[in-house]
Structure 1
Amino acid sequence: MHTLALRGHTLEVVRRPSAHPRPEAPALVFLHEGLGSIAMWRDFPQRVADATGCEAIVYSRHGYGRSSPLTAPRTPDYMHVEALQILPAVLDALQLRAPILVGHSDGGSIALIHAGGTPAPVRGVVVMAPHLYVEDVALEGIRRTVDAYRTTDLRARLARFHADVDGVFAGWSDIWLHPDFRDWNIEAFVSAIPCPVMAIQGEDDEYATMDQIDRIARLAPDVDLVKLADCRHSPHKDQADAVVEAIASFVARLLDDPH
């Protein structure tokens, strides 16, 4: 674990080599969910690194985990800022070129915006439960989570992973439930993605319908869809073996393709 100084903030970063490194393999860069952090990925990045032969690089975005806390409320374009400004700076600072992005939920949306909205080369994108637009089911799920944060042990459980747990939670829930966020949409970025995409979603996702990844398949030119039964909003936790296997197959296709 080390820290990366970036734009007046510090980000916690960890690099995990593969137990079975593949020569010339690109790095996998993991982008966490709206309440996530390095620690909340648990052993999943290492499992994917070992299965693919790629190094796994994981960081907590500004405001999350042990990275610098937020000092101002989020704005409706916060994922665009992360994708188009912060992520390119992170990749440059870590000297990464043409990585494979692996994003979950908000992190998946950030990966899609980056791949379709910047000239920086991306070898491939894996997204799990991404959001392309705001659905009613997402807002209903967030309202239930807000209630759980106030009335159950959810706050205590999240506090194990974040230095500023209240800032993390408010930064996520307040902006998603803000009226100005209702029209948020990234479909234009998805239609501009030139690289292969794998989109994974659980059939029991409590924050989205399957239309989210079906739209990716309609908009982008090269998309593999993985739809998982008995799986909610975190496929890498609910169906970890299936997700690792799917990502390993996708990465193998990318690395074996001479183009």
Structure 2
Amino acid sequence: MGCIKEDKVTIFDKKIYIKMWIPERLVSTVPIILIHDSLGSVDLWKDFPLELSRKTSRRVIAYDRLGFGKSDCCIEQPSVNFIKEEAGVLFPALKKQLSIQNYILLGHSVGGGMAINIAAKDKDCLRVISISAQAFIENVTISGIQKAKEFFTKGNQIKRLEKWHGDKAKWVLSAWVDVWLSSEFSDWSLSYCIRDVLCPILVIHGDKDEYGTIAFPRYISTNVGGDSENLIIKGCGHIPHKENPTETLNAVIQFLK
């Protein structure tokens, strides 16, 4: 049956929440590490990590980024360089605390962008799976975030985020919308690191994604320095691992073979 473990590790005097799914039989000691999206958390992955662990026979590790879920809160808003900072500062510290050497990354949305940044810096990353990752800023990206901001600031909709983030919910929302809608972030792209990704990458994207067109996966797969595979899921929005879990999991399994 395998087992599930939970823990908190200390990074720069802050507690980071970790959850680990360990299958009964391991085919490899190389774990898959999940990086969540802008409103995400460990718990919001739902059953996906368990199924991923079962079907790949690998250890799966998910963590709440600082300020999210069950990790400690942040007081300051993230800088416009928060994606670089996760890759260059926070993730390496987490990797060291968990005594991880080689690993595989799976990131959703901005987590996909972070995974690409990490892989560009760290050759211990053997493979990357990006799901619905943004590669630059499109009009649909801005429009989607503006609509989400309007939704969560009306009535009691913020309670939807409080369910997962508690009293950090307003910070989580602000950390997303205020940074991504700022003029300083308008020219952001993956161009500064994408060619340094030399490990194989699987790029998954829904053709109905509310926050980015298929120009994103095309850009990523065309510009990485290593081998790439694309999966464009028809009729799928921003969360393929929930909307089309079977197709998403099958693609990941095949990629890891």
**1:255 match:** none
Measured against aligned partners, the alpha-carbon deviations of 1:162-181 in whole angstroms (never above 9, x if no partner) come to 02111111111110011100
**2:233 match:** 228
Residue 25 of structure 2 corresponds to residue 9 of structure 1: no
Shift, 1:187, TM fit: 2.0
Match of 2:186 among 182, 186, 191: 182
Shift, 1:157, TM fit: 1.6
Shift, 1:18, TM fit: 1.9
> Which is worse superposed, 147-156 or 74-83?
147-156
Please give the alpha-carbon distance, in whole angstroms, between the structure 1 residues aligned to 2:123 and 2:155. 43
Q: Tell me, yes or no, if the aligned pair for 1:28 and 1:102 is still in contact at 8 Å.
A: yes
**1:256 match:** none
Shift, 1:244, TM fit: 0.7
**1:136 match:** 139
Match of 2:255 among 241, 250, 257: 250
Q: Tell me, yes or no, if the aligned pair for 1:19 and 1:49 is still in contact at 8 Å.
A: no
Residue 108 of structure 2 corresponds to residue 108 of structure 1: no
Q: Identify if the C-alpha distance between structure 1 residues 20 and 152 changes in structure 2 by more than 3 Å, giving closer, same or farther.
A: farther
Alpha-carbon RMSD across the aligned residues, in angstroms, is 1.1
Please give the alpha-carbon distance, in whole angstroms, between the structure 2 residues aligned to 1:242 and 1:40. 19
Residue 252 of structure 2 corresponds to residue 241 of structure 1: no
Q: Tell me, yes or no, if the aligned pair for 1:88 and 1:120 is still in contact at 8 Å.
A: no
Query: Moved runs in structure 1, 4+ residues, more than 4 A?
Result: none
Instruction: State the SS of the aligned residue for 1:224.
Output: strand
Shift, 1:158, TM fit: 1.7
Residue 82 of structure 2 corresponds to residue 78 of structure 1: yes
Residue 32 of structure 2 corresponds to residue 28 of structure 1: yes
**1:89 match:** 93
Shift, 1:245, TM fit: 0.7
AA matched with 1:161: W
Q: Tell me, yes or no, if the aligned pair for 1:124 and 1:196 is still in contact at 8 Å.
A: yes
Shift, 1:198, TM fit: 0.2
**1:18 match:** 23
Measured against aligned partners, the alpha-carbon deviations of 1:36-59 in whole angstroms (never above 9, x if no partner) come to 000000110111111111100000
Please give the alpha-carbon distance, in whole angstroms, between the structure 2 residues aligned to 1:129 and 1:19. 30
Instruction: State the SS of the aligned residue for 1:36.
Output: coil
How many residue pairs align between the two structures? 250
> Equivalent pairs: percent with the same residue?
25
Please give the alpha-carbon distance, in whole angstroms, between the structure 1 residues aligned to 2:23 and 2:155. 38
AA matched with 1:140: S
AA matched with 2:151: A
Unaligned regions of 5+ residues in structure 2, if any? Answer: 1-5
Match of 2:217 among 213, 219, 222: 213
AA matched with 1:2: D
Instruction: State the SS of the aligned residue for 1:57.
Output: strand
Please give the alpha-carbon distance, in whole angstroms, between the structure 2 residues aligned to 1:240 and 1:223. 21
Please give the alpha-carbon distance, in whole angstroms, between the structure 2 residues aligned to 1:19 and 1:32. 25
1:43-82 matches, cutoff 5 A: 43-82=47-86
Instruction: State the SS of the aligned residue for 1:195.
Output: coil
Shift, 1:25, TM fit: 3.7
Shift, 1:223, TM fit: 0.4
Q: Identify if the C-alpha distance between structure 1 residues 219 and 20 changes in structure 2 by more than 3 Å, giving closer, same or farther.
A: same
**2:3 match:** none
